[in-house]
Amino acid sequence: MRYITASMLYDLVACPHRVTMDQFGDPTQRDETSPFVELLWERGTAFERETMAAPTQPYLDLSKYAGDEKERQTLDAMRRGEPLIYSARIRADDLLGDPDLLRRQDDGYVAGDIKSGSGEEGPEDLSKPKLHYAVQVALYTDVLERLGLSAGRRPFIWDIHGREVVYNLNAPQGVKDPKSLWSDYQGCLAEARQIVARTVKTMPAYGSVCKECHWYTGCQKRLEAADDLTLLPGLGRSKRDVLVDRIPTINALAQIRPSAFLKGKKTVFPGIGPDTLVKFQERAKLVTSPNPRPYLSRPVSLPVSDLEVFFDIEVDPMHDHTYLHGFIERRNGENSTERYTAMFAEHLSPLEERDAFARAWGYLQARPSAVIYFYSPYERTYWRKLRESYPDVCSEAQLESLFTPPRSVDLYTNVVRRATEWPTRDYSIKTLAKFLGFKWRDAHPSGAASIEWFARWIEIGDPAIRLRILDYNEDDCRATRVLLDGIRNLALR
CB-wise, 216 or 295, nearer to ligand SF4? 216
CB-wise, 92 or 226, nearer to ligand SF4? 226
CB-wise, 131 or 143, nearer to ligand SF4? 131
Q: Which residues bind ligand SF4 (CB under 6 A)?
A: 15, 17-18, 21, 204-205, 209-210, 213, 215-216, 219
The packing angle between helices 350-365 and 378-389, to 10°, is 120
Contacts of 241-250 spanning 24+ positions with Cβ under 8 A: 242/269, 242/270, 242/271, 242/272, 243/269, 243/272, 244/203, 250/284, 250/287, 250/288
Q: How far is the CB of 31 from ligand SF4 (least distance, A)?
A: 9
DSSP class of residue 116 equals S
CB-wise, 171 or 209, nearer to ligand SF4? 209
CB-wise, 34 or 420, nearer to ligand SF4? 34
Q: How far is the CB of 219 from ligand SF4 (least distance, A)?
A: 3
Helix (H) or strand (E) holding 52: helix 35-53
What letter represents residue 399's amino acid?
A: L
Q: How far is the CB of 12 from ligand SF4 (least distance, A)?
A: 10
CB-wise, 240 or 279, nearer to ligand SF4? 240
Tell how strand 90-92 and strand 95-97 pair up: antiparallel
CB-wise, 180 or 230, nearer to ligand SF4? 230
Q: Is the peptide bond before 350 cis (omega within 30 degrees of 0)?
A: no
Q: What distances in angstroms separate CA 229 from CA 15, 200, 225, 246, one per listed residue?
A: 16, 20, 11, 12
Q: How far is the CB of 214 from ligand SF4 (least distance, A)?
A: 7
The per-residue DSSP string of 267-332 comes to ESSTT--HHHHHHHHHHHHHHHSSS---EESS-------SEEEEEEEEEETTTTEEEEEEEEEEET
**Distance in angstroms (rounded) separating the CA atoms of residues 55 and 111:** 16
CB-wise, 5 or 141, nearer to ligand SF4? 5
CB-wise, 25 or 258, nearer to ligand SF4? 25
Helix (H, G, I), strand (E, B) or coil at 412: helix
Q: How far is the CB of 249 from ligand SF4 (least distance, A)?
A: 17
Q: How far is the CB of 451 from ligand SF4 (least distance, A)?
A: 19
Beta strands in 94-134 (DSSP E): 95-97, 101-105, 108-114, 120-121, 128-129
Q: How far is the CB of 308 from ligand SF4 (least distance, A)?
A: 37
Q: Phi, psi (5° rounding) for residue 51?
A: -60, -45
CB 423 within 8 A of CB 232: no
Q: How far is the CB of 396 from ligand SF4 (least distance, A)?
A: 39
Q: How far is the CB of 325 from ligand SF4 (least distance, A)?
A: 32
Q: How far is the CB of 228 from ligand SF4 (least distance, A)?
A: 10
CB-wise, 17 or 279, nearer to ligand SF4? 17
Helix (H, G, I), strand (E, B) or coil at 84: strand
**Distance in angstroms (rounded) separating the CA atoms of residues 232 and 227:** 10
Q: How far is the CB of 145 from ligand SF4 (least distance, A)?
A: 31
**Distance in angstroms (rounded) separating the CA atoms of residues 86 and 84:** 7
CB-wise, 225 or 351, nearer to ligand SF4? 225
DSSP class of residue 338 equals E
